Amino acid sequence: MQLGTRIRALALASAGVFVVAACGGNNSTPSLNLAPAAQQILRVNTGVEPNSFDPTQQTFTYEAAVGRNTFQALLQAKADLSDVQAAAAKSYDVSSDGLTYTFHLQPNAKWSDGKPVTASDWVYGFQHFLNPALAAGYVDPFFDGTIAGAQNYGSVDVSSASAIDSFLSGLGLSAPDANTFVIKLQHPAAYFKWVATLWVAVPLRKDVVESAAGGTFPSTDTTKPEVWANKASTIIGNGPFKISEIASKDHVTMVPNPNYWGGTAKLQQIIYYYISDGNTEFSKYQTGALDIANVPLADVTVVKGDAVLSKQAHLYPQLTTYWMDFNAKKAPFDNPKVRLAFAKAIDRDKLANDVQHGTAKGIASFIPNGMAGYDTSDNTQSFDPTAAKKLLSDAGVTAATLNNFKLLTRNTTGSKTLNQFIVDQWNTNLGLNIQLDVIDSKTVTSRIRKGNFDIYGPSGWGADYPDQQDWMDVWFAGSCGSLNFGCPTLAGYDALVQKADTELSQSQRNADYLTAQKMLIDQAAGAFIYQPYEYDLVQSYVSFTHTAFDDQYAPGDQNYFSAYITTH
Amino acid sequence: MAVIAGRPNRGALLPSRLSALSSSRAGSLAIFIIRRILWMIPIVFFVILITFFLMHLAPGSPWDRTGGRQLSSVVTHNLDIKYGLNKPEYQQFGLYLWNVAHFDFGLSYQYEGKTVTALIGEGVPYTATIGVLAFLIIVPIGVLLGVLAALRQNTRTDFITMGFATAAASFPNFVVGALMVVVFSVEMARWTQHAFFLPAADFGLDDHLIMPVITLSLLPIAYTARLTRASTLDTIRQDYVRTAWAKGLSERLVVLKHVLKNSLIPVVTTLGPTFAFLVTGSVIVETVFNIPGIGRAFVVAVTSRDYPMILGTTVLFSIVIAVANLAVDVLYVFIDPRVRLT
């Protein structure tokens, strides 16, 4: 999951479903108190215009917020994240060797133009997505490692149409009949059911793509296959909503898809605005021009002290963890003791309360609260300045050596404030004098990818889906420079995680991932610092079901099908 | 056709029709304009050259992500092929020039399948509307304040107008913009129970325009007022103005006929760049009021290293600035009869 400009992978701390409703939870009463149809309009800010309205090409949460509503994946997460449930597939079977997934599609599923959705549309959608010439950003983390034949994704000659065609036709995708979609895997992958919930794994209409492109095109073509996604009239989806208007750079409007198999949504319009400035979003909410808005960090105390706004504010945990990276290819950070000393010298509760104004929770482990694998039994990284100092002296590292190092910081308010707090903690608790090195964001990314830094943070990870596999591969040796930047050497870690990834028994997987997480904590692969919460304002007349991580950007955006506006 | 010392006279090589033109005032103006337009070609070339290499020198690739999952080398390799970034830079440059000569500014890296021309075309109307409106306010108000201050030098009128100009120039427009939003949108909505307030953000051809246009105008108004005041003070001390007063002309006649025309020359010089600045968009105003204009698009393109979009907007800006300066030079002819264009 991209932790981009703003992260909206949301999780739920305790369990299950969170209902935000008018008038203090009278949502359980059978009468919905529905506002008239003309008022069934939901106005939300997603911050940035989607780079594409083709869900297979989307990689950011603000894009998937549109993709998830206009197209529907095979499966979706249950509200409590314990398992998957039916979506575009009514049910699915897994062969006993764990290699073949058979999806039984909803028999009366229709496209937004009324034509039936067939299994061959699914094959076409997956092939479009897996075409290496189109270079979709979300292919390689999940699909080239799972779908049979896709392991050759990286070696296909993208200038040769025949090479691409033979790669695509060799993929383990088939449609034995109109309602059955079969996917063969390279190796057993118990987490594949979660992969099938991703917004990129959707069907596409070959006839629509080709007619928008003005005819058939070779698979090497990179522009014609995307023409359809630029016009509302040719974005034909299988989701509960369809796009009615694309006002570039300003907003996108979605209306109910009357042909959706599950019925018609109550909301008559969803408008996603692209307001990049948090203060502008907040002002607009206060004038009543937005129904849901995020509270900028600087205004959290204002909202908490405001009689009206504080009643509309909700705290939603996110399935995200932040940590600090130490360049483990450089002495003395190649020594786990030194890294651990730094990890133990951060007062995480103070961070959550003072820096994040209570919109975060300190965490000293990797997997966040709200998903499988969350475990706080290992407190090796917990705040303990005395033990931290002892670790440093045991490692034989002097303050003079460490003072030469800098904390690489992105030139954003959030990063600067956080990192100033972190260095203050280190300088106070370890008796050091480390400085910040603040540079523009793109340059920071380019430097950390090349390993050209001492300490960097905050690094973060947000769940793509609530399975540990999505998290543990961050620390593979092969993920150095792309998913993790400290690149610590963790003996036996890769083999253990790979074993758990292909293991079919869930209890064995959980046990293996737990051992792997212990390695990350004990050897301080990173100094895990906090789990963020989303602090959002929701107008009292908006009713929606908030399901943990499944929300892509704004709370409830995965269940807008069941959302509605109450009389007001 | 006169030949002097074996060299053709100036204009002798021009077709006779053109040379006939060049002898008249309108004709020389036409030739001047054509020459200046042709000069834009090398200007745009050097703008492209410098921008192209500076932007490739800047660290970071278009495919680097701000955080989280970075694209794998397989995907970035295929993206490089898709957008031609796998070729050597001089080849990319040559190809870009070739395409620009055919008015093809390429595909944006940020928006799948969208051309730079389309993206710029989407942003320009927003920015231009606000820029032109601001310009229409700036010129009369700025000049009026400046002339008033000069004619009433060292009186209360002078202190108030110049005090306003100094304040307007000192407050950064992100402060002015944000402050106006708080007062006229948020607080006003609260006081009036949502009955009357200005919209906090977004573009619209109605009351949405008020705050962005005012925010954008303040600094140029202040600047124009100060400049007008200085040049007017200079002009009213000239002998011919004194003569005009001595003839017993009314103040209105002296100011409008004798003072204003001459004192406006330095003001006109700055109006060209001001106009160019206004219609190429203010990032801050566009961000604070969430206007989908070209100024913000340019900054987003720079921070995300969207090379074709950076080049496309830079070329557009350079052309706008060149045209604005040309317009100023042409305006001189009409304001100041001493000016001859060559």
What's the DSSP call for residue A100?
A: E
Using a CB-CB cut-off of 8 Å, the residues of chain B touching A276 are 287, 290, 296
Whether B290 and A482 lie within 8 Å, measured CB to CB: no
Mutual angle of helices B173-180 and B210-235, in 10-degree steps: 130
Q: Are A497 and A472 in contact (CB under 8 A)?
A: yes
Tokens of A195: 């992969």
CA–CA min distance B52, chain A (Å): 18
Q: How far apart are CA B265 and CA A301, in angstroms?
A: 53
- Give me the mean pLDDT over the B198-204 stretch: 88
Do the Cβ atoms of A57 and B112 come within 8 Å?
yes
| Residue B231 tokens, joined | 């040049």
**Cβ contact A324:A453 at 8 Å:** no
The two three-digit tokens of residue A226, written as one number: 């995307």
Instruction: Note the helical H segments in chain B.
Output: 16-23, 25-57, 73-82, 89-101, 116-151, 156-170, 173-180, 188-191, 210-235, 239-246, 251-253, 260-279, 283-288, 294-303, 307-335
Cα–Cα dist B52/B47, whole Å: 8
Are A223 and B289 in contact (CB < 8 Å)? no
Of A59, A277, A287, the CB nearest to B189: A287
For residue A342 the two structure tokens come to 């730094």
Token pair, residue B147, equals 């002339």
Looking at residue B262, its pLDDT comes to 85
Cβ–Cβ contact B299 with A under 8 A: no
- H or E element in which residue A208 lies: helix A206-213
Mean pLDDT of B192-219: 90
C-alpha separations of A131 from A342, B37, B215 in Å: 44, 46, 48
Q: Does B107 touch chain A (CB under 8 A)?
A: yes
Residues B287, A277: C-beta atoms closer than 8 Å? yes
Question: Which of B201, B297, B303 minimises the CB distance to A441?
Answer: B303
Distance from CA of A542 to the nearest CA of B (A): 18
Nearest to B290 by CA among A288, A251, A555: A251
Q: Which residue of B has its CA nearest to A249?
A: B292
Of A3, A223, A281, the CB nearest to B67: A3
Question: Given B58, B65, B288, which is nearest A2 (Cβ)?
Answer: B65
pLDDT, tens only, B102-147: 989 999 998 888 899 999 999 999 999 999 999 999 999 999 999 9
From B186, B290, B305, residue closest to A277, measured CB to CB: B290
Distance of CA A261 to the CA centre of its chain: 27
Helix (H, G, I), strand (E, B) or coil at A440: coil
| Token code pair at residue A309 | 């706004």
Residues in B touching A484 (Cβ below 8 Å): none
In the Cβ-directed half-sphere of A136, how many Cα atoms lie within 13 Å? Answer: 28
| Residues of chain A with C-beta less than 8 angstroms from the C-beta of B64 | 442, 445-446, 449
Q: In chain A, which residues have their Cβ closer than 8 Å to the Cβ of B65? A: 2, 4, 445
Residue in B69, B79, B296 closest to A483 by CB = B69
| A285 alpha carbon, distance to own chain's centre | 25
Beta bridge partners of A20: A544
* A161 burial type by CB count under 10 A (0-12 exposed, 13-18 middle, 19+ buried): middle
Among the listed residues B245, B229, B84, the one whose alpha carbon sits nearest the alpha carbon of residue B161: B229
CB atoms inside a 10 Å sphere around CB B85: 18
Q: Where are the alpha helices (DSSP H) in A26-114?
A: 61-70
Measured CA distances, A68 to A46, A118, A332 (Å): 13, 19, 46
Distance between CA A360 and CA A348 in Å, rounded?
10
DSSP string, A108-159: T-B-TTSPBP-HHHHHHHHHHHH-GGG--TTHHHHTTTTBTTGGGGGGS-TT
Q: Looking at chain B, which residue has its C-alpha nearest residue A130?
A: B75
Q: A408: closest CA among A368, A380, A436?
A: A436
Question: Contacts of residue B111 in chain A, CB cutoff 8 Å?
Answer: 49, 51-52
Q: What angle do CA B64, B70, B73 make, to 5 degrees?
A: 85
CA closest to A157 among chain B residues: B78
Residues of chain A with pLDDT under 70: 1-31, 547-552
Helix or strand or coil: residue B185? helix
Q: Are the beta carbons of A287 and B111 separated by less than 8 Å? A: no
DSSP single-letter state for residue A352: I
Min CA distance, B65 vs chain A (Å)? 7
Under DSSP, is residue B270 helix (H, G, I), strand (E, B) or coil?
helix
Question: CA nearest A58 in B: which residue?
Answer: B112
Size of interface A-B (CB pairs under 8 A): 167
Q: Which two tokens stand for residue A293?
A: 């808005």
Helix runs in A242-327, H state only = 278-286, 300-305, 309-312
pLDDT of residue B17: 54
Neighbours of A208 (CB within 10 A): 18
What are φ and ψ of residue A477, in 5° steps?
-60, -35
Query: Which of B54, B66, B79, B124 is the best residue to mutate to test the A interface, defined by the most A CB atoms within 10 Å of its own CB?
Result: B66
| Cα-Cα end-to-end distance for chain B | 20
Chain B residue nearest residue A159, CA to CA:
B81
Taking the C-alpha atoms of residue B334 and residue B3, their distance in angstroms, rounded to an integer, is: 33
**pLDDT band (50, 70, 90) for residue B22:** low
Lookup: tokens for B171: 């407050």
Q: How far is A284 from chain B (nearest CA, A)?
A: 5
**Alpha-carbon gap, residue A519 to A407, rounded angstroms:** 24
Tokens of residue A354, six digits: 């003072």
Q: Is B190 on the interface with A (CB under 8 A)?
A: yes
Locus of tokens 């979709």: A136
Q: A275: distance to nearest CA of chain B, Å? A: 6
Q: Is the pTM of the predicted complex or chain greater than 0.80? A: yes
B192 — contact with chain A (CB < 8 Å)? no
DSSP B338: T
Higher pLDDT: B268 or A161? It is A161
Structure tokens at A464: 């793509």
ipTM comes to 0.82
Nearest to A256 by CA among A271, A232, A244, A240: A240
Neighbours of B103 (CB within 10 A): 7
Do B55 and B307 meet the contact criterion of CB atoms below 8 Å apart? yes
Rounded CA-CA distance A90/B279 in Å is 55
Q: List the beta bridge partners of residue A103.
A: A92, A181
DSSP string, A462-483: E-SSSSTHHHHGGGSGGGBTTT
B311: pLDDT strictly greater than 70 = yes
Measuring CA to CA, which residue among A445, A465, A467, A466 is closest to residue A456?
Answer: A445
Instruction: State residue B257's pLDDT score.
Output: 85
A283 and B202 in contact by Cβ < 8 A? no
Q: Establish whether the linkage from the previous residue to A332 is cis, with ω within 30° of 0.
A: yes
Q: Is there a contact between B292 and A154 if contact means CB atoms under 8 Å apart?
A: no
Q: Give residues with Cβ within 8 angstroms of B146, minimum separation 6.
A: B161, B224, B225, B226, B227, B228, B229, B230, B232, B267
B114 interfaces chain A, CB cutoff of 8 Å: yes
Whether B49 has a pLDDT exceeding 60, the answer reads yes
Q: Do A159 and B81 touch (CB under 8 A)?
A: yes
Both tokens assigned to A289 = 């021009």
Of the candidates A534, A65, A67, A61, the residue with the CA atom closest to the CA atom of residue A293: A534
Helix extents (H) in A314-412: 336-344, 348-350, 385-395, 399-402
Cβ separation B66–A5 shorter than 8 A? yes
User: Cβ separation of B66 and A230 shorter than 8 Å?
Assistant: no
